[in-house]
Amino acid sequence: MKYPSLIIVLALAVGAFLIPAPDAPEPGPPAGVEDPPVSICAIEEGSGRTTEVVILSTVDGPTRLTLFASGESAGSIGQSTGASGSVTIPVVNVAAVGTVGGLIEMPASSSAAGTIVVGAESMSAESCAAIPTQQSFITGGSTIGGQPFELHLMNPYAGEAVVELVVQSEAGIESNDRFESVVVPARSSTVVDFAELIPGRETLSIAIETVKGRVLGVGRQGIDGESAVWKAVEGSQDWYLPIPKGGGSKRLVIGTPSNVEVEYQIDYYGPEGLEEAYLAGTLSPRGQNSFDLAAITEETAGVRIISTGPVVPILWINSEAGFAITTASAVEATRWFLPGAGALAGGQARAVILSVGIDGAIVSVRSLREQSLVRSIDLPADGVVEIGLEIADGYLIESSGPIVAMWVARRDNAGIAAMGVPILDG
């Protein structure tokens, strides 16, 4: 009788790492017991690239990374955030899995996770996501000149997911059978290769419309051996974006999933403070517009984008500091995590912090590692500043007023830009 018992125990252990289908009714947990908050990450391990998963928290508590592929767990590892409130997990210590999804059980709601992917000549970083929304949108992709662009769709749930992709390029709405009823099997991933399906497109925007289940979409863009990763997100009408210093190609791209025209206004945070309505314009249905930020200034700056309908803005950088893409933030907060920031040996990293309150703010920047370092700065109202970062698992930024924080990094000719994760539970 011991063998059937062992099978039951193993089945329960695996099931504990995987979340149920979102639409299925589930009984409530027993009194005093809560399911741990979870986060979903895009993982690349193999073909010359390796991923580290960084988990930050305001508490010392247990966390677990489970990789999911082909309908089941592909490996799992438990760790603790420890006294520093941080831990870094190399995926190679879990499994060699290719392009898959990762599910993280967090130690508390006031936690965040992110990934750093490093290749021979490339590196990228992105924060992990909570439960995906029903509809999401990603803009900024391109397949011009043979550039690779992929959309990685991840389904961590126990039920199959189906999505429809509405793809817009400079040629208009793209028609392809592969964009209709895209199936993402349970606890698996599907990768849509746009360079194969619609090559030669200079601009691509994709609305991910869920028919069944839920998925998280992540874009991967390659240019000359470098790569960038950024999430598909829900559209909003109010966004903030810090802009790091530097020249080269540095663009603000605004796209909309709406099938009607959307008007927008761009407020500019520059050396002289806030200049409202610095730029304004109209997006055509499901269209996108691009602005040359380096032509405005090569100094540290910021923008706010306000619109009459849902939009998603991104920052696109391709310069001497490397190639990177990150999405703006639809929220402001007084506390931010920067997972992975400062974790690159042999490189340079900086935090870019934008003050969006009516008053100035006192900002504390804390490295999360065995021996933390804390620095404080006075940030004026509508001000923006860059701060050098030391090697650490990540950073916790706390402020007396509302701010928006991101981080950028450079090593050799490869670059990173990643928006921070706001802590919204007080």
pLDDT at 321: 80
Counting runs of H as helices and runs of E as strands, what totals does the chain give? 3, 32
pLDDT at 203: 96
pLDDT at 219: 97
Q: What is the pTM of this model?
A: 0.90
166 has pLDDT over 90: yes
Spatial contact of 264 and 306, defined as CB atoms under 8 Å apart:
yes
The arithmetic mean of pLDDT across residues 115-120, rounded, is 92
pLDDT at 40: 96
4 has pLDDT over 80: no
pLDDT at 97: 84
* E strands in 271-393: 273-283, 288-292, 301-319, 322-327, 333-339, 348-355, 361-368, 374-379, 384-389
The arithmetic mean of pLDDT across residues 36-61, rounded, is 92
- What CA–CA distance (Å, rounded) separates 121 from 51? 14
pLDDT (tens digit, 9 = 90+) per residue, 17-48?
Answer: 444 444 433 333 333 445 569 999 999 998 88
The arithmetic mean of pLDDT across residues 402-426, rounded, is 91
The arithmetic mean of pLDDT across residues 134-152, rounded, is 96
pLDDT (tens digit, 9 = 90+) per residue, 93-104?
Answer: 998 888 999 999
408 has pLDDT over 90: yes
Structure tokens at 64: 């677990």
pLDDT at 13: 39
pLDDT at 33: 41
383 has pLDDT over 80: yes
3 has pLDDT over 60: no
Instruction: Give the Cβ contact number of residue 92 at 10 Å.
Output: 13
Mean pLDDT score across all residues of the chain = 90
pLDDT at 220: 97
Q: Report the chain's C-alpha Rg in angstroms.
A: 21
Higher pLDDT, 356 or 272: 356
pLDDT (tens digit, 9 = 90+) per residue, 257-315?
Answer: 999 999 999 999 998 899 999 999 999 999 999 999 999 999 999 999 999 999 999 99
52 has pLDDT over 60: yes
The arithmetic mean of pLDDT across residues 191-203, rounded, is 97
pLDDT at 15: 43
388 has pLDDT over 60: yes
Q: Worst-scoring range by mean pLDDT, 39-43, 188-192, 244-248, 406-410?
A: 244-248
Residue 94: strand pairing partners = none
